[in-house]
């Protein structure tokens, strides 16, 4: 009696439902990774912008100190620019001579941040005195500093705090200038917090 050999058939590959589920899961994971990468990149640019602004301010202070000048650092929160000119010189001459012949030495925060820089907000405390068109801080010889044409804060008149805020980020970057010694420090806070923390921050 002959035995008929039976071939066993095993299912190979994936069904259409399995492929659809796999592709959907991969799409969700990719979207999450892309959002996290984008947020991490924006946080890095915010930190870099803050540190570059801090360095720019230190350069202005150092130049005023070594050249026996008073540099007026004007802060424009609306246009997100910080500019420097010689104080009481009668002209809009930049504090640090410009190789391009520009009449002002300015730090453009939006341009420095790059993509989505228009979303960035520059906040300052204390604000500019409403009776003046502009305000900021003066750096003078010996590295001293003084708030100029800002709203008086009484005992806090010796402090100026700049904050860089991006609506898509939880982290806020801060720069504080303490007068009259002219100390400049950078810090950070979460948007849910009220005060910036200074010291060793990343």
Res. 24: pLDDT tops 80: no
What average pLDDT does the segment 46-59 reach?
A: 95
* Secondary structure class of 67 (helix, strand, coil): coil
Q: Is the pLDDT of residue 33 over 70?
A: no
- 3-class DSSP state of 163: strand
pLDDT at 48 over 60: yes
pLDDT tier for residue 116 given thresholds of 50, 70 and 90: confident
In a domain, 137, yes or no: yes
- Please tell me the predicted confidence (pLDDT) of residue 176: 96
Number of structural domains the chain divides into: 1
Question: Domain of 119: which CATH number?
Answer: 3.55.40.10
pLDDT at 67 over 60: yes
Is 7 domain-assigned? no
Does the residue 82 lie in any domain? yes
Tokens linked to 55: 């360095």
Residue 12 maps to a domain: no
Task: State the pLDDT confidence band at 153, using cuts at 50, 70 and 90.
Answer: confident
More confident residue, 117 or 154: 117
CA angle at 174 for the pair 172 and 175, rounded to the nearest 5°: 165
Range of the domain at 58: 23-198
CA distance readout (Å), 7 to 2, 4, 19: 15, 9, 28
Residue 108 has what pLDDT? 95
**Residue 104: is it exposed, middle or buried by C-beta count within 10 angstroms (0-12/13-18/19+)?**
middle
Would the pLDDT of 182 be above 60? yes
For the segment 23-43, the average pLDDT, to the nearest whole number, is 72
CA atoms within 13 A on the CB side of 120: 28
Predicted pLDDT of residue 3: 52
For residue 34, pLDDT beyond 60: no
pLDDT of residue 61: 95
Sorting pLDDT into bands at 50, 70 and 90, what band is 130?
Answer: very high
Burial 67-78 (b: 16+ CB within 10 A, else e): eebbbbbbbbbe
* Beta carbons of 63 and 84 less than 8 angstroms apart: no
- CB neighbour list of residue 34: distance below 8 Å, 6 or more residues apart: none
* Within a domain: 181: yes
Cβ atoms of 135 and 125 closer than 8 Å: no
* 126 preceded by a cis bond (ω within 30 of 0): yes
Would you say residue 52 has pLDDT above 70? yes
Distance separating alpha carbons of residues 183 and 179, to the nearest angstrom: 7
- Is residue 2 included in any domain, yes or no? no
Identify which of 4-8, 15-19, 189-193 has the greatest average pLDDT: 189-193
Phi, psi values for residue 139, rounded to 5°: -105, 130
Per-residue pLDDT band for 25 (boundaries 50, 70, 90) equals confident
Residue 127, in any domain of the structure = yes
pLDDT, mean over the chain: 85
């Amino acid at each position: 009696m002959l035995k008929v050999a039976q071939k066993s058939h095993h299912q190979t590959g994936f069904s259409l439902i399995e492929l659809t589920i796999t592709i959907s899961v991969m799409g969700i994971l990719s979207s999450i990774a892309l959002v996290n990468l984008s947020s991490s990149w924006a946080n890095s640019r915010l930190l870099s912008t803050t540190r570059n602004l801090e360095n720019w301010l230190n350069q202005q202070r150092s130049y005023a100190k070594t050249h026996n000048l008073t540099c007026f650092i004007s802060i424009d929160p609306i246009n997100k620019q910080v500019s420097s000119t010689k104080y009481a010189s009668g002209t809009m001459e930049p504090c640090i001579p410009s190789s391009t012949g520009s009449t002002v030495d300015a730090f453009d925060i939006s341009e420095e941040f790059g993509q989505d820089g228009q979303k960035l907000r520059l906040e300052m405390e204390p604000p500019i005195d409403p009776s003046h068109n502009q305000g900021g801080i003066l750096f003078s010889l010996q590295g001293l500093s003084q708030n100029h044409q800002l709203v008086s804060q009484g005992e806090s008149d010796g402090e100026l705090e700049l904050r860089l805020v991006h609506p898509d980020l939880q982290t806020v970057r801060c720069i504080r200038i303490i007068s009259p010694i002219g100390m400049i420090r950078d810090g950070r806070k979460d948007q849910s917090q009220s005060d910036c923390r200074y010291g060793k921050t990343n």
